[in-house]
Amino acid sequence: MATFLYRLGRGAFRRRGLVALLWVALLFAAGFGAASAAAPTSGSFSIPGTEAQKAFDLLDKRFPGMAADGATARIVIQAPEGAKVTDPGPKAEVQKIVSGLKTGPGAAEISSVADPYEAKAVSQDGSTAYISAKYNVSGMELKDATRDALKDSGEGAKAAGLNVQIGGDALMAAPETGSGEIIGIAVAAIVLVITFGSLIAAGLPLLTALIGVGIGVSSITALANVLDLGNTTATLATMIGLAVGIDYALFIVSRYRAELAEGRERDEAAGRAVGTAGSAVVFAGLTVVIALVGLAVVNIPMLTKMGFAAAGTVVIAVLVALTLVPAILAFAGKKVLPAGRKSRLFGKGKPAGAEKKANGGTRWARFVLRRPVMVLLAGVIGLGVIAIPVSKLEMGLPDDGAQPVSTTQRQAYDLLSDGFGPGFNGPLMVVVDGDKALADKTADRIKGLDGVVAVTPPTLNEAGDAAVITVIPKDRPSSTHTEELVHEIRDGSGDDVLVTGATAMNIDFSQKMNDALLPYLALVVGLAFLLLMLVFRSILVPLKAALGFLLSVVAALGAVVAVFQWGWLGSVFGVEQTGPIMSMMPIFMVGVVFGLAMDYEVFLVTRMREAYVHGERPGQAVVTGFQYSARVVVAAAVIMIAVFAGFIGASEQMVKMIGFGLAVAVFFDAFVVRMAIVPAVLALLGHKAWWLPKWLDRLLPNVDVEGESLRKHLESAQSPEGPDKDRELVSA
């Protein structure tokens, strides 16, 4: 592989114009496709194999249109203190809202509007009423004029002294990341300038990463409606694509500068950089792709599509690093060279052979080698303490009750809870696959259960062979009591009685996430373990890498629970409302963080392996690995943390939480696990760290990430008959 990548990098360097033209053409093609495509929708949501999904499928067959996924809105009206919504004045204002929705702007997209006085949607004390509106399209597909008409529908009633708030998904909008994403990129630029001491060298990874992300995200946008991708897919692909794109380019550029510092010609330096660091980029990218594609085992289409889309962006980042980066290095010329004493890499620009002062990575590695037990215990105990909140992890899917208290959605949620009871925001839909007698019997049984406030009479379909019963729980949708009620209804019913609705879907989703976590871990960690065994020709090094990852991801989940569930430092991170952690958070963090963690493992330990293969003792190999890779790995980690942290400013709770979780996980993994625990373990293992049974060594193919075969090939090319071989190598 190293020889192939050497040829690829050298060829891209020499044919820089053609390579750059191809990538720019791809960027314009993807951009044109995104611009001409219809606006992305929110994406359909289904959970195959669950009872809630079976009930929705049954509704589709027996009650056509009832299970349609069009947007809904609830306009909640509260009368002033001492008045009732049934009084003539407030009632007239409420009916004006109903009339305006039916005939005003956006009425063409509304399928039904329920008058609260006819639908009995007035609270017992008469203080509160709500209007239900159903739309023909999803919230993301609503026209701006329709959404604005909904927002303005209660202005007249507000002027008359009524409190009007709007809930439901009709107000759903694409998540906004705010200025945080720009700040993250700015921090990355500053880190690159400090690392390279050259504006040109610093700007190159940013430029190539933005091109790669532009192609990936534009392609996702162009295909969003065709593939039914959710509106957050592009945001997550941007998050991951930016982080890995900058990092992969950083490693190629830093190795290129190191080769130049050894006195090699520019095209030769580019070839060797791609042949050595590029091999690590390929395998690091493979681990990320494995982790993201592995999300398919959860069998939730939305999560699978998110994983594949993000994996596609990572593949583009790898290809950009291997081809576009050397091409742009050719255009940059000598401007990318180490800038004298300003350069913080590879001896501050000193000529090859000059005596070099030990850098920070070397000094740190020597410190760890002197005190491996102390460093190991400090790292493990520290992360273990941070992981303690995981024991109190509560999972669920966010609803309007998780919105900030300043939003109209949250205020509508609270008004409904106060006027109709906490469970009114999460009604259960019981679907009966049978006649009226079975439906009546089921309704009577549910009425006798604890935790039930109200049960509506069964509504039969036209054929009379199916019915729908609405059950109002006593507790809020995210309550454990409501979850117990769902299980109680299901346990006391046969296969012809199914419970669904948003609350039941959330419960089933959380359960499916829990059930899939261990199989997913086994698949992803197992495949990556085999991959790392190929890279490092060792059993203990991949095992140590996997265990270190588990420690960092559990600690990161502990931090997420402390901030988003308990509210610790919540104001610092913009968390206005605490609540359960999103059900997909643990499994999504496992997938993404595992891939990213293995990046640092590959980049750092590959250099140690290279030194060990070339004859250095285990301890010295650790020092050598840190001497050449620690500074770059630290810079890469800081960049990735900055990019992820930029998404903490997003308007959507899901994106905010994922950005925080990934940033914290990368911090723990890069600075505690890879920089402290890894060298400590390698120091304690010594030669055993690189042990591999001979029979297994013979079975495993030699992928040569260290570039040993490339070095021998190039040395033979410099023999007396070398020119012919060299021409053969270049032409190939």
Is the pLDDT assigned to residue 1 strictly greater than 80?
no
CB 67 within 8 A of CB 58: no
Is the pLDDT assigned to residue 43 strictly greater than 70?
no
What DSSP string runs through 506-574? HHHHHHHHHHHHHHHHHHHHHHHHHHHHHHHS-SHHHHHHHHHHHHHHHHHHHHHIIIIIS-TTTTTTT
pLDDT at position 76 is 94
Lowest mean pLDDT among 22-36, 392-406, 470-484, 505-519: 392-406
pLDDT at position 49 is 83
**CA 192 distance to own-chain centroid:** 24
pLDDT at position 291 is 83
- Supply the mean pLDDT for the chain: 83
CB 168 within 8 A of CB 72: yes
- Please give the model's pTM, rounded to 2 decimal places: 0.79
- Dihedral of the alpha carbons of 230, 232, 235, 237, in degrees to the nearest 10: -50
Is the pLDDT assigned to residue 269 strictly greater than 80?
yes
| Cα torsion angle, 552, 555, 557, 563, sign | negative
Q: Which residue has the higher pLDDT, 651 or 688?
A: 688
What type of residue is 587? I
pLDDT band at 105 (very low <50, low <70, confident <90, very high): confident
**Residues 700-718: tens digit of each pLDDT:** 877 666 566 666 666 666 5
CB 55 within 8 A of CB 499: yes
Q: Tell me what the mean pLDDT of segment 227-234 comes to.
A: 71
CB 60 within 8 A of CB 137: no
Q: Tell me what the mean pLDDT of segment 187-216 comes to.
A: 84
pLDDT band at 129 (very low <50, low <70, confident <90, very high): very high
Beta partners for 235?
none
pLDDT at position 522 is 84
Is the pLDDT assigned to residue 670 strictly greater than 80?
yes
Q: Starting at the edge strand that comes first in sequence, how are the strands of the sheet with 72-78 ordered? A: 110-114, 128-135, 72-78, 163-167
pLDDT at position 174 is 54
CB 628 within 8 A of CB 280: no
Is the pLDDT assigned to residue 191 strictly greater than 90?
no
Of 31-45, 207-221, 586-600, highest mean pLDDT: 207-221
Is the pLDDT assigned to residue 545 strictly greater than 70?
yes
Is the pLDDT assigned to residue 175 strictly greater than 60?
no
- Residues 9 and 407: their CA atoms lie apart, in Å, by 53
**Residues 460-469: tens digit of each pLDDT:** 988 888 999 9
Is the pLDDT assigned to residue 458 strictly greater than 80?
yes
CB atoms < 10 A from the CB of 694, how many? Answer: 7
Is the pLDDT assigned to residue 187 strictly greater than 70?
yes
pLDDT at position 351 is 43
- Residues 154 and 231: their CA atoms lie apart, in Å, by 28
pLDDT band at 65 (very low <50, low <70, confident <90, very high): low
Lowest mean pLDDT among 52-56, 186-190, 447-451: 186-190
**Residues 409-440: tens digit of each pLDDT:** 889 999 999 999 888 888 899 999 989 989 99
pLDDT at position 345 is 40
What type of residue is 47? I
Q: Which residue has the tokens 């905010």?
A: 656
pLDDT exceeding 90 applies to what percent of the chain? 25
CB 165 within 8 A of CB 155: no
pLDDT band at 38 (very low <50, low <70, confident <90, very high): low
CB 486 within 8 A of CB 480: no
pLDDT at position 177 is 52
What type of residue is 656? K
